[in-house]
Amino acid sequence: EDQVTQSPEALRLQEGESSSLNCSYTVSGLRGLFWYRQDPGKGPEFLFTLYSAGEEKEKERLKATLTKKESFLHITAPKPEDSATYLCAVAKAAGNKLTFGGGTRVLVKP
C-alpha cells in the first residue's frame, strides 16, 4: 500500500532561520511527487511537481528536492508569511489519485 510520511509534524522557526521538511514515501511506480502549501481553512496551493531522483525546483525561499525514497522542502531565510502547513503527495500514474502525507505545520516568528 502506498504510504507518505512527513516529518516533523510541526516546526517553529525564527524569522531568517533556515530549515528542511522531510517527506518519505513508499510507492511502486512513482509518477510524480507534489508539494502544496495550505493556509488554515483554505484549499492547498500548488508549489512544485518533481518527477525523477536528483530533480530540484525553486520558488522564492522554497527549494524542493527528490531522491528515490524521499523529498525535502528547504525553506531559506523564512519570513512570517511562510507560516502554513506544507503537504507532500505522490501519484502513481498520469492523473492518478494523490496520496497525501499528514503535513508539516510551520510557524515562523518575527
Q: Which residues bind other proteins (CB under 8 A)?
A: 4, 6, 31-32, 34, 36, 41-46, 49, 87, 89, 91, 94-103
Shortest distance (Å) from residue 97 CB to other proteins? 4
Nearer to other proteins, 44 or 78 (CB): 44
Q: Which is nearer to other proteins, 77 or 93 (CB)?
A: 93
Shortest spacing between CB 16 and other proteins, in angstroms: 28
Beta carbon nearer to other proteins, 18 or 52:
52
CB atoms within 10 A of CB 109: 11
Q: How near is the Cβ of 9 to other proteins at its closest, in Å?
A: 9
Contacts of 57 (CB under 8 A, 6+ apart): 48, 49, 50, 63, 64
Q: Is the distance from CB of 105 to CB of 85 less than 8 angstroms?
A: yes
Residue whose CB is less far from other proteins, 9 or 15: 9
What cell numbers appear for 51 in the block? 518527477
Using omega within 30 degrees of 0 as the cis cutoff, is the peptide bond preceding 110 cis? no
Q: How far is the CB of 83 from other proteins (least distance, A)?
A: 16
* Of the candidates 74, 46, 79, the residue with the CA atom closest to the CA atom of residue 62: 74
- According to DSSP, the residues that pair with 68 across neighbouring strands are none
